[in-house]
Amino acid sequence: MTVVTDPARPVAVPEASGTAPPRRKRGTFGFNSLSPTEKVVRYLLLVFVLLITIGPFLWQLSTSLKGSGEDIYTRIPRLLPSQPTLSHYGEVADTIPVWDYMRNSLQVAVLVVGGNIIGSSLAGFALSRLEFRFRRIVLGLFLATLVLPGEVTIISQYVTVRELGLANTLFGVALPGMIGALNVLLMYNAFRSLPVEVDQAAVVDGANVWQRFIHIGLPSVRGTLSVVAIFAFIGAWDDFLWPLIVLTDPDKYTLTVGLQYLSGTFSNDPRLIAAGTMIAFIPIVIVFATLQRFFFKGVEEGAVKG
Q: Which domains does the chain have, with CATH numbers?
A: 32-85 (no CATH), 91-300 (1.10.3720.10)
Give rounded-to-5 percent helix, strand, coil for the chain.
Answer: 65, 0, 30
pLDDT under 50: residue ranges of the chain: 1-8, 11, 13-14, 16-17, 24-29, 265-266, 299, 302-306
The phi, psi pair for 25, rounded to 5°, reads -65, 145
Q: Check residue 273 and give its pLDDT.
A: 86
Tell me the pTM: 0.77
So what's the pLDDT on residue 32? 59
Q: Can you give the pLDDT at residue 254?
A: 93
What's the confidence (pLDDT) of residue 100?
Answer: 92
- In our burial notation (b when 16+ CB lie closer than 10 A, e otherwise), range 23-38 reads eeeeeeeeeeeeeeee
Q: What is the DSSP letter of 214?
A: I
* CA gyration radius, the chain: 29
